[in-house]
Structure 1
Amino acid sequence: MAHSLARSLQRLSLMRTTIGLAAMLMWALVGCSSSNQGGETGGGGSHQGEGGSNQGGGGSTAAPAECFEVKPGCVVASDAERITTPDVPAEDRESLARNNASFALDLGRALDGATKNLVYSPFSVSTALAMSYAGARGDTKEAIAKAMRFELPEDRLHPAFNHVDLELQKRAESTREGGGFRLRTANALWSQLELTLQQPFLKVLVESYGAPVRLADFTNAEEAEGLINTWVSDRTDGLIPKLLDGNVEPATQLVLVNAISFKAAWSEPFKEEATKPGAFERADGTSVTAQMMRGTQETRHGAGDGWEAVELPYAGTPVSMVVVMPDPGTADAFEELLDGAALEELLDSMQQRSVDITMPKFSFRSSASLKEALQTLGMGVAFSPDADFKGIIAEGELNIQDVIHEALIDVDEAGTEAAAATAVLFEVTGGGAPVPAEIVVDRPFFFFIKDLATEAILFAGRVNDPTAR
């Protein structure tokens, strides 16, 4: 992959622009003990109910706990339960990981990250849209599958998503006692009062995503956004306080939501006293002075024609950040050529060795509608009056109104904290000591955060200026 990629880059003969590519693969594992908090066991729970601290943004409305009445904020009782031991063969797990990685890279290309910093959660977006996919039919279903890179038939796709989510939950539970690791994921469906939803669709959402139906009155937009924002804020530890802000419209009928929150310490923290100001060259060739962390680690490192990479493990969990930095001036071309299989090959080529690491601290958030990016990837029909979501409601017509995504990341000497949330809004429509390798991350880079066992990409992005907020 490295040689063919380098040859392609050489043929492009791009202008010399120093752009770094940092890929952060973040696999979060959310634990939820049997506290019966619906939609929240690393992506969902098998029981319904409203938990949380009732703190959040987007309005002061707090959803009542364990409320099963027909009123906003309450949960619709269901006989279905989360399948906690899905039978998913290894080839299905590998297919989903590879396809989701390809979608993660496709989405990154479709978003505007060429000059600005970018962070997003492929895990969150994929999960929210997979839930939407469960209700799609006909051409709409085919378009979503193509854009999302889904290759598994639906009866195997949703169990595969369930398997990943439950595996993440197990890892979170296994590290909970240590106190240095936090990962939560949660799913929910917010439905208009009295809207009749198709039972097979609801069954899939509960069994494979732990997502109960929660009620809202979208004719009262401020109240509805307040309920959803409070739910998201509670499940992202207050990091995403206001996902929705004027997005609910009179035609809105339901909202599918995923939320994820992650915090972990480095396996080998950087020493604060070693952090010094250093030059970081931005995409346009200009330089800024960033706070550069420095340290030597025994870790996986790789280099090929046109790129260099290093892995930064987190403590007590099989989760790591991988930083991938292309040669100066080639990041855009590198990104265009990178797909899931190529990224997997790149990561597999990395070897354990001593590495002197210099990289910047950075902290920023991204918030945007994904509608245009998803349309670019081929999902246009899902947003149009021609959309077919008869699997969600039998009477009337639904189309996706918008997909709102927000993510943040904070990387320093101690570790990483990140969170994200996605809302899919539907509307009614018509020899001796080896010489250490060295990597100085002093130009724009992509980042990914990854769980090594499941290979799911939870967060990804691009840093063009680590000093920008």
Structure 2
Amino acid sequence: MGPAWLWLLGAGILASLHRQRLPAHAEKSLGVPQAPSEQLPEPAPTYHKVTHTITRFALRLYKHLAAETPGNIFFSPVSIATTLALLSLGAQADAPTQILEALGFNLTETPEAAVHQGFQSLIHTLDLPSPKLELKVGNSLFLDKQLKPQQHFLDDIRELYRAFAFSANFTDSATTGRQINDYVRKQTYGLVTDCLQGFTQDTLMVLLNYIFFKAKWKQPFHRYQTQKQESFFVDERTSLHVPMMHQKEMHRFLYDQEAACTVLQIEYSGNALALLILPDPGKMQHVEAALQPETLRKWDQRLFLSLLDLHLPRVSISGAYNLEEILPHMGLTNIFNLEADLSGITGQLNKTISRVSHKAVLDMSERGTKAGAASGLLSQPRPLNATTALQAHFSRPFLVLLWDVTTQSLLFLGKVVNPAAG
């Protein structure tokens, strides 16, 4: 069989501004797991100003989602963080500070300009061509044809985020919505379709980010070794019969007794890897509570190479979230109220963000893994051991973290509760 592939995709925050319906009387350094067999080039220092903060933001957001989501979780922190940071370029007053601080940046240590330079370096580096790793990142801005965007804003987003502006006719919201979704589908090679919803005649702007990733497994799975019907225990009372992939290969691996989990690192050809975390039975919440950047550093230092008898289910999951209810609990509030000042984009006041949507999809099989994410800020009128193979049997819920090693970027993060959900 051919080598396995990994497709990762994120079409990240859709930011959509709408006319406000006003009353009549008022118009630190995180050590990401490193691929041990490759000598990595010395990374450009500027993207390190943002990648570790994005990881911390990802873990914080994950815990909020886990508290409200009993099932599968999957999202792209790079996609969400990039578009929020881009949006901050068009915010005025104290909104830029609040957006960046909500992402976790200490603007005393890393000034606003340095943050944007860090994202600029990250996008540039992720987008560099590679013979073994296909990674594509982009940002686009769709503005209603009646608006005249601020030239300095267009210059900044083009220089820092490689974002280009397009004119759109949101009066015909159905047609324009289909056109934007078709744009996403083409940019993501058909992986994300009809993912951005909520367009109306009041829509004035859509801010879009996408990320596409494709790589081969370094140690491929083979379909003939897959057991078609093995038990996967969703919880103590529920089990499913799912296809379970199998291989005996050398991988970096450890068991953390304190955290009560097994940690496995699987490499891809090129500078990419997956970190899979399998809690002991009944210990998922314990592991989630222990999930900190410091924990990831500890695991990276202690992972050891071992022959592993690995059983991993095929995975098909998705996650769809309205983050406007979660982000205020993480410090992001001003862009959701009527006093939000986003006039740096168009020069007009009374624009605000009322919805932040994000959707992500993960499919993992012998031939590869496909992952897609679409996230959006939609602004709408709101109502007021080496000799014997060690066993690693992923037959119960586990966490998955997908990394770009060169930039130490956490591209996707999720929890697989039901691998066949979708």
TM-score range, shorter chain: 0.7 to 0.9
Cα gap change, 1:437 to 1:366, in 2 (>3 Å): same
Determine if the alignment matches structure 1 residue 192 to structure 2 residue 144: yes
Distance 1:369 1:103 in 2: 17
User: Which of residues 436, 442, 446 is equivalent to 2:399?
Assistant: 446
User: Could you tell me which of 268, 282, 286 is aligned with 2:234?
Assistant: 282
Q: Does 1:174 align with 2:125?
A: no
1:423-438 → structure 2 map (5 Å cutoff): 423-426=376-379, 434-438=387-391
- Are the equivalent residues in 2 in contact too, given 1:260–1:421 (CA < 8 A)? no
What displacement does 1:350 show?
Answer: 1.6
Question: What is the alpha-carbon distance in structure 2 between the residues aligned to residue 166 and residue 375 of structure 1?
Answer: 30
| Residue in 1 that maps onto 2:409 | 456
Q: Which amino acid aligns with 2:87?
A: S
2:267 corresponds to which of 313, 325, 336: 313
Structure 1's 296 and 227: CA in aligned 2 closer, same or farther, altered over 3 A? same
The code of the aligned residue for 1:449 comes to L
Distance 1:348 1:198 in 2: 48
Q: Which amino acid aligns with 2:255?
A: A
CA contact (8 A) 2:9 2:212 kept: no
SS of 1:220's equivalent in the other structure is: helix
Q: Is residue 317–residue 416 contact of structure 2 (8 Å, CA) maintained in 1?
A: no
* Deviation of 1:188 (Å): 0.2
Corresponding position: 1:263 with 2:214: yes
2:118 equivalent among 152, 156, 160:
160
Cα separation, partners in 2 of 1:162 and 1:428, compared to 1, 3 Å: farther
Once the 2 structures are TM-superposed, how far is the Cα of residue 399 of structure 1 from its aligned partner?
Answer: 1.1
Instruction: Say whether 1:147 aligns with 2:102.
Output: yes
Contact preservation (8 Å) 2:174, 2:200: no
Q: CA deviation at 1:408?
A: 1.1
Q: Which moved more, 1:149-158 or 1:335-344?
A: 335-344
Find 2:168's aligned residue among 192, 216, 228. Answer: 216
The answer on whether the counterparts of 2:9 and 2:373 sit within 8 Å (CA) in structure 1 is no
Query: Pairwise mapping of residues 65-144 of structure 1 onto structure 2 (< 5 A)?
Result: 90=45, 92-112=46-66, 114-144=69-99
- Alpha-carbon distance, 1:160 to partner: 1.0
How far is 1:392 from its partner?
Answer: 1.9
> Quick one: distance in 1 between partners of 2:231 and 2:381?
52
Q: Percent identity?
A: 29
Residues 102-153 of structure 1, C-alpha deviations (whole Å, 9 max, x = no match): 1111222222574211221111111111111222233322332232112332
The residue type paired with residue 343 of structure 2 is: K
Partners of 1:342 and 1:145 in 2: how far apart? Answer: 24
Q: Which residue of 2 aligns with 1:53?
A: none
Residue by residue over 1:59-115, the C-alpha shift from the partner in whole angstroms, topping out at 9 and shown as x without a partner, is xxxxxxxxxxxxxxxxxxxxxxxxxxxxx962x433412110111112222225742
Q: CA deviation at 1:28?
A: 6.7
Contact 1:27/1:458 (CA < 8 Å) preserved in 2? no
Paired with 1:29 and 1:223, the residues of 2 have a C-alpha distance of 25
Shift of 1:428: 8.1
Distance 1:291-1:128 versus aligned 2 partners, 3 A rule: same
In structure 1, stretches of 5+ residues that fail to align are 1-25, 31-39, 44-87
Q: How far apart in 1 are the matches of 2:87 and 2:381?
A: 15
In the TM superposition, residue 284 of structure 1 has moved relative to its aligned partner by 5.2
Secondary structure at the residue paired with 2:218? coil
- The one-letter code matched in structure 2 to 1:217 is N
Q: Which residue of 2 aligns with 1:468?
A: 421
Unaligned runs of 5+ in 2: 1-5, 13-42
8 Å CA contact retained: 2:7, 2:215: no
- Are 1:265 and 1:416, in contact at CA under 8 Å, matched by a contact in 2? no
Q: So what's the TM-score if we normalise by structure 2?
A: 0.83
SS at match of 2:346: coil
Match of 1:235 in 2: 187
- Given that 1:370 and 1:404 are in contact with CA atoms closer than 8 Å, whether structure 2 keeps it comes out as yes
Q: Which amino acid aligns with 1:116?
A: G
**3-state SS of paired residue (1:174):** coil
Deviations 1:306-360 (A, max 9, x none): 1211111112x11111101122222123213323333233233322222221111
Match of 2:306 in 1: 353
Q: Which amino acid aligns with 1:167?
A: T
Alpha-carbon separation, structure 2, partners of 1:323 and 1:441:
9
In structure 2, distance between residues paired with 1:27 and 1:324: 20
Q: What's the TM-score once normalised by structure 1's chain length?
A: 0.75
The alpha-carbon deviation at position 442 of structure 1 amounts to: 1.1
Cα distance in 1, alignment partners of residues 52 and 319 from structure 2:
25
When residues 184 and 150 of structure 1 are mapped into structure 2, their CA distance, relative to the original with a 3 A threshold, is same
Measure, in 1, the Cα distance between the counterparts of 2:236 and 2:65: 18
- Larger % of strand: which? 2
Residue 407 of structure 1 is matched in structure 2 by: 360
Q: List per-residue Cα deviations over 1:281-324 (Å, max 9, x = no partner).
A: 11454222221111122221122121211111112x11111101
Say whether the 8 Å CA contact 1:354–1:437 is kept in structure 2: yes
> 2:196, 2:374 within 8 Å by CA — same for their partners in 1?
no
1:201 to 2:160 alignment: no
Matches of 1:391 and 1:215, distance apart in 2: 18
CA root-mean-square deviation: 2.6
| Pairs aligned (count) | 379
Q: How far apart are residue 435 of structure 1 and its match?
A: 3.1
Partner of 1:33: none
Structure 2 equivalent of residue 375 of structure 1: 328
Aligned mates of 1:214, 1:125 — CA distance in 2: 21
Q: Which SS does the other structure have where 1:391 is aligned?
A: helix
